[in-house]
Structure 1
Amino acid sequence: MLVIRSDLVDAMVAHARADHPDEACGIVAGPDGSDRPERFVAMLNAERSPTFYRFDSAEQLKVWRAMDEADEVPVVIYHSHTGTEAYPSRTDISFASEPDAHYVLISTRDPEVHELRSYRIVEGVVTEEPVTVVDRY
């Protein structure tokens, strides 16, 4: 189960809406071993595409180094789907390389309402998990 603060959900949704019609992407870092998302990091979709995302490699290296220095891990890896439901594509599944991360997808296909869902993706197996949004931990 993913437990996440409402301000972090709001930040992910705002980023997804701002980058629409292209997919948005980023992470929410948290203390290593805690499974608690705390620090929102919006990242650049190097593909600038409505159907695919890829972290910019230089930016990803910088973000991952900063997490290492702060003893953090990517608790949440998020991206948006602009024209489809919030379910991982085959490409999303093949690129999922953090087995302990929650993969959050936000669909922005409806301009009025967003759809947010979370998954664990381990060795190509996708498992949807409940999301509990809280005001604070």
Structure 2
Amino acid sequence: MLIIETATYDAIVAHARRDHPDEACGVVAGPAGSDRAERFIPMLNAAMSPTFYEFDSGDLLKLYKELDSRDEEPVVIYHSHTATQAYPSRTDINLAGEPGAHYVLVSTRDGADSPSYDGPVEFRSYRIIDGEVQEEEVRVVGSYEETEGES
């Protein structure tokens, strides 16, 4: 299960809407081994495409050096789909190289890109390991303190 704070959820959705009609992409980092998505890091889609996302290799190298120096890891790797459902494409599955990460997809199709859109946003999370896709529940909380003491 992905547990994510409301502010981070909102930031991911806002980024997807802002970059539409191109796919948005980014990372939410957290302390290594914690599974807590705490630091929102929007990235540039170097492909600048409505059907494909690609992290800029220089930005990605800089990000991983920064994560390492802060003892963090990518907890969430997210991107948007602009015209299709929030389900990993074959390309998404092939590029999923972080077995410990939650892969979040947001769909901005059918008008969901508009800030005035008041319908539900398709926001889904997956674990992708060795080409196998497993959808997981997403729980949005006000803060991680709400989950303390849960097992």
Larger radius of gyration: 2
* Residue aligning to 1:95: 95
Q: What does the per-residue CA deviation read over 1:24-54, in whole Å, with 9 as the maximum and x for residues that have no partner? A: 0000000000001000000000000000000
* Residue aligning to 1:124: 131
How far off its partner does 1:20 sit? 0.1
Letter in 2 for 1:14: A
TM-score by length of 1: 0.99
* Residue aligning to 1:60: 60
Structure 1 unaligned spans of 5+: none
Letter in 1 for 2:8: L
Q: Do residues 6 (structure 1) and 6 (structure 2) align?
A: yes
Structure 2 unaligned spans of 5+: 112-116, 145-151
Counterparts of residues 1-137 of structure 1 (less than 5 Å): 1-111=1-111, 112=117, 113=119, 114-137=121-144
How far off its partner does 1:89 sit? 0.0
TM-score by length of 2: 0.90
Tell me the matched-pair count: 137
* Identity fraction in percent: 66
* Aligned-residue RMSD, C-alpha: 0.6
SS at match of 1:65: helix
Letter in 2 for 1:76: V
How far off its partner does 1:110 sit? 2.6
| Dislocated runs of 4+, deviation >4 Å | none
